[in-house]
């Protein structure tokens, strides 16, 4: 009985909030499950990357080159009435932690103290990490806070499959990546509060990946999960073994638990979703059939279709959505470019169900679709929108950001 007043209040507040929100006509073209609706929060006009929503509903986004953007809805209709840019440079990662707003550039992690009432932090940013390798290709630096309060920061591999000077070209031949992987292709663990840390202050936590722009903590278990972008251009590098169709469907984008010392098998191997096997990359002697040594690298917990480009991951922590969504996470897929000459795919937000033990079930379902706005997409640039960020708001709404025109949506559930 004690819970009743709180539950009643939540229901009333929820009802009031929804009553004031105005879903977009036809859900702004998005395809959503029954009972869900899309509210257009803002259209920035410039690409948005990862997003986070504060306890008061303020939304913060990182951008590729225009610093950070803050959005505030002052009258409760769902549309942002105040949109303010702050900070310099550009980047991808963003997160809230113990009253601070953390954001990454391609070579640093900064944080700003959040003060109640302030949309834009008035204090100067503190630099927590500096001198990250700024390598051009795969330079986004996503991060998350672990259950231990530490900061886990990614550094991608500036490479496709470490194929030397011919990387991405016909006949690319793999080189020994041992030294390379000491600097690239992994996650590093830092203190969350110490200023101006460098690699010398960090623990090399995991290795052997190409690029990961996906990391989040499952609050139910305290475990970190990541997704990894698979390699490109199997048919370009080794047309004797891979057709255009083979390349369009290979290799998987993979989902793993991030554990200390993990090696995810790049650049030697990739995951074939058609046979559910780990295979040797053609740069290292593979022929489309040759299997990797059994047990040497972890099998993925989820194998997504090739080239979909997994971006931000957000565990659903709200209660607004139906019960099935309350054990799982939402993952934004940026959409492919490397399926050509086959049509491009992937431009969507998926829901990943998790089981009672806090592990993914291995399945995923499309939650929000039609961001590209076309039934058949030939070229990436023709997509109307590309999902990049997802975050859960204090009332359980799901926010989605777009890297094409900078649109920001709020997905709500009304049941009708």
Partner 1 sequence: MSRFVPLAVLILALAACSKQEPSPATNAAAPKPSGQEAPPATVSVPAATDRNPGAELARPSAEPVSSAAVAATPPQPPAPAEPATPPVPAATLAAPDGEALFKKTCATCHQANGGGVPYLQPSIKGSAWISNPDPQLLLSLILRGSAILGEAAKAYDNDMPPIDAPTDAEIAAIATYVRGRFGAPPVTEPVTPAQVAIARARPGLPE
- Which residues lie closer than 8 Å to 191 by C-beta, 6 or more apart? 150, 151, 197, 201
**Least distance in angstroms from the C-beta of 64 to partner 1:** 6
Q: Which is nearer to partner 1, 191 or 244 (CB)?
A: 244
- Which residues lie closer than 8 Å to 252 by C-beta, 6 or more apart? 230, 270, 271, 272, 273, 300, 303, 304, 305, 306
- Which residues lie closer than 8 Å to 355 by C-beta, 6 or more apart? 327, 361
Joined tokens for residue 159 = 């490479």
Q: Which is nearer to partner 1, 28 or 402 (CB)?
A: 402
**Least distance in angstroms from the C-beta of 170 to partner 1:** 5
CA distance 186 to 259: 11
**Least distance in angstroms from the C-beta of 379 to partner 1:** 4
Sheet containing 223-229: give its strands across. Answer: 211-218, 223-229, 253-257, 302-304
Q: Which is nearer to partner 1, 237 or 314 (CB)?
A: 237
DSSP string, 180-204: GGGTSSEEEEE-SS-TTB-GGGSEE
Instruction: Quote the strand ranges of 240-375, DSSP E.
Output: 253-257, 269-272, 277-280, 302-304, 310-315, 328-333, 348-353, 365-368
**Least distance in angstroms from the C-beta of 163 to partner 1:** 9
Q: Which is nearer to partner 1, 218 or 250 (CB)?
A: 250
CA distance 231 to 139: 15
Q: Which is nearer to partner 1, 137 or 275 (CB)?
A: 137
- Number of C-beta neighbours around residue 391 at 10 A: 24
Q: Which is nearer to partner 1, 140 or 302 (CB)?
A: 140
To which residue do tokens 């058949």 refer? 376
**Least distance in angstroms from the C-beta of 157 to partner 1:** 12
Q: Which is nearer to partner 1, 166 or 324 (CB)?
A: 166
Of 56, 50, 127, 38, nearest to 87 by C-alpha is 127
- Which residues lie closer than 8 Å to 287 by C-beta, 6 or more apart? 238, 241, 280
CA distance 104 to 209: 20
Q: Which is nearer to partner 1, 175 or 244 (CB)?
A: 244
Q: Which is nearer to partner 1, 171 or 288 (CB)?
A: 171
**Least distance in angstroms from the C-beta of 135 to partner 1:** 9
**Least distance in angstroms from the C-beta of 166 to partner 1:** 6
Helices (DSSP H) in 175-310: which residue ranges? 234-237, 244-248
Q: Which residues bind partner 1 (CB under 8 A)?
A: 47, 64-65, 89-90, 136-139, 165-172, 232-233, 235-236, 244, 337-338, 340-341, 378-382, 403-404
- Which residues lie closer than 8 Å to 403 by C-beta, 6 or more apart? 47, 48, 49, 64, 334, 386, 387, 388
**Least distance in angstroms from the C-beta of 160 to partner 1:** 8
Q: Which is nearer to partner 1, 47 or 360 (CB)?
A: 47
**Least distance in angstroms from the C-beta of 229 to partner 1:** 12
**Least distance in angstroms from the C-beta of 136 to partner 1:** 6
Whether residue 48 contacts residue 33, with contact meaning beta carbons closer than 8 Å, is answered with: no
């Amino acid at each position: 009985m004690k819970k009743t007043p709180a539950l009643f209040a939540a229901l009333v507040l929820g009802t009031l909030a929804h009553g004031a929100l105005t879903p977009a006509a036809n859900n702004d073209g998005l395809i959503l499950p029954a009972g869900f609706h899309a509210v257009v929060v803002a259209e920035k006009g410039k690409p948005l990357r990862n997003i986070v929503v504060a306890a008061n509903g303020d939304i913060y986004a990182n951008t590729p080159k225009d610093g950070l953007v803050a959005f505030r809805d002052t009258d409760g209709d769902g549309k942002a009435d105040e949109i303010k840019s702050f900070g310099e440079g550009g980047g991808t990662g963003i997160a809230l932690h113990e009253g601070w707003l953390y954001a990454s550039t391609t070579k640093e992690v900064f944080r700003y103290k959040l003060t109640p009432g302030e949309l834009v932090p008035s204090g100067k940013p503190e630099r927590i990490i500096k001198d990250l390798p700024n390598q051009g290709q795969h330079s986004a630096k996503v991060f998350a806070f672990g259950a231990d309060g530490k900061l886990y920061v990614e550094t991608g591999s500036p490479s496709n499959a470490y194929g030397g000077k011919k990387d991405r070209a016909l006949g690319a031949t793999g080189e020994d990546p041992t030294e390379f992987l000491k600097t690239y292709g992994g996650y590093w663990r830092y203190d969350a509060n110490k200023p101006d840390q460098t690699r010398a202050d960090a623990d090399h936590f995991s290795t052997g990946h190409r690029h990961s722009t996906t990391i989040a903590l499952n609050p139910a278990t305290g475990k970190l999960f990541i997704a990894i972008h698979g390699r490109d251009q199997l048919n370009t590098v080794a047309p004797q073994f891979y057709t255009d169709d083979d390349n369009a469907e290979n290799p998987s984008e993979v989902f793993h638990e991030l554990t200390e010392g993990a090696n995810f098998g790049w650049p030697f191997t990739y995951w074939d979703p058609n046979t559910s096997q780990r295979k040797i990359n053609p740069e290292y002697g593979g022929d489309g059939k040759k299997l990797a040594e059994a047990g040497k690298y972890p099998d993925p917990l989820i194998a997504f279709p090739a080239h979909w480009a997994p971006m931000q991951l957000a565990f659903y922590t709200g209660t607004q959505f139906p019960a099935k969504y309350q054990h799982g996470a939402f993952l934004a897929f940026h959409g492919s470019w490397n399926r050509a000459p086959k049509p491009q795919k992937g431009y969507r937000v998926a829901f990943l169900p998790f089981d009672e033990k806090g592990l993914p079930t291995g399945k995923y379902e499309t939650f929000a679709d039609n961001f590209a706005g076309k039934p058949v997409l030939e070229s990436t640039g023709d997509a109307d929108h590309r999902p990049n960020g997802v975050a859960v708001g204090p009332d359980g709404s799901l926010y989605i950001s777009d890297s094409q025109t900078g649109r920001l949506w709020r997905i709500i559930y009304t049941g009708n």
